[in-house]
């Protein structure tokens, strides 16, 4: 899943980003309000961590613009403005949660997980065909063969994105932006390399799920038994 941090304290944004990345989230950072609003309206994010006091455009303005566009992305306000009236304003404008500064990083991560888990299975896994992806253990499992295998951060995000969009053809650009980020300096052939890694792991665990290349369009997951 992808998270946007809109925070002008560069060191703090980096600290939060690093911690969330350890939990398999892909994180982008915007350090001013105008860039933050532009990225927030892109539709790429599952959750936004939004400061209120930002240069160029404040967080309340950004939140209002997000909700004006009927964008239902989860938003956690992260700010030093923690008075009751500030919190009520944030919730009134459509915030899902409100974390005052200073805060403990583990509490913020717990609140992020809570917001994102609301739409996910209680057992914290995603399923497709004969495979399950376990968020807690970072393992890809095949029900048919009862085999499982560890899966690393980029592999995890790649297969998760495909599994959560089983009926869609995902373009290379969509996958690259989702997993590596729009501003990533990673080279484009990183995608093909990680596709190869994930395909190999699917074979190792004996799954009938495969990643199919759709010529000139992108990739999609297929399950062998669906074609019988």
> Pick the residue with more confidence: 186 or 144?
144
The span from the CA of 2 to the CA of 214, in Å, is 24
The span from the CA of 90 to the CA of 188, in Å, is 39
Contact (Cβ atoms closer than 8 angstroms) between residue 49 and residue 24: no
Assess whether pLDDT exceeds 50 at residue 133. yes
Query: What mean pLDDT is predicted for residues 95-107?
Result: 90
C-alpha–C-alpha distance, residues 170 and 162, integer Å: 8
Alpha-carbon span 205 to 208, nearest angstrom? 9
* CATH fold label, 125-227: Arc Repressor Mutant, subunit A (1.10.10)
Lowest mean pLDDT of 65-69, 79-83, 124-128, 204-208, name the range.
79-83
Q: How far apart are CA 184 and CA 53, in angstroms?
A: 27
Domain range annotation of the chain: 2-117, 125-227
- Beta strands at 2-6 and 47-50: parallel, antiparallel or unpaired: parallel
Residue of higher predicted confidence among 80 and 14: 14
In a 3-state reduction of DSSP, which class is residue 220? strand
pLDDT (0 to 100) of residue 188:
66
Quick check: helix, strand or coil at residue 100? strand
Level-2 CATH architecture, domain 2-117: 3-Layer(aba) Sandwich (3.40)
Contact indicator for 194, 145 with CB cutoff of 8 Å? no
What is the tens place of the pLDDT at every residue in 34-74? 999 999 988 778 899 999 989 999 999 999 999 988 888 99
* pTM for the full predicted model: 0.61
Average pLDDT value for residue range 77-104: 85
């Amino acid at each position: 899943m992808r998270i946007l941090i809109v925070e002008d304290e560069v060191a703090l944004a980096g600290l939060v980003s690093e911690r969330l990345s350890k939990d398999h989230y892909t994180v982008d950072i915007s350090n001013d309000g105008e860039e933050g609003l532009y990225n927030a309206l892109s539709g790429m994010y599952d959750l936004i961590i939004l400061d209120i006091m930002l240069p160029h455009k404040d967080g309340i303005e950004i939140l209002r613009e997000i909700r004006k566009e009927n964008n239902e992305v989860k938003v956690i306000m992260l700010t030093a403005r923690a008075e009751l009236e500030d919190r009520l304003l944030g919730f009134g404008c459509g915030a899902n949660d409100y974390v005052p500064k200073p805060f403990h990083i583990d509490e913020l991560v717990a609140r992020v997980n809570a917001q994102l888990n609301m739409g996910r299975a209680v057992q914290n896994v995603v399923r497709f065909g004969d495979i399950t992806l376990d968020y807690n253990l970072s393992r890809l499992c095949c029900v048919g063969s009862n085999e499982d295998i560890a899966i690393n951060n980029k592999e995890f995000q790649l297969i998760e994105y495909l599994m959560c969009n089983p009926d869609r053809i995902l373009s290379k650009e969509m996958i690259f932006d989702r997993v590596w980020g729009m501003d990533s300096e990673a080279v484009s052939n990183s995608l093909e390399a990680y596709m190869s890694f994930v395909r190999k792991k699917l074979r190792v665990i004996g799954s009938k799920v495969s990643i199919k290349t759709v010529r000139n369009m992108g990739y999609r997951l297929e399950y062998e038994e669906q074609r019988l």
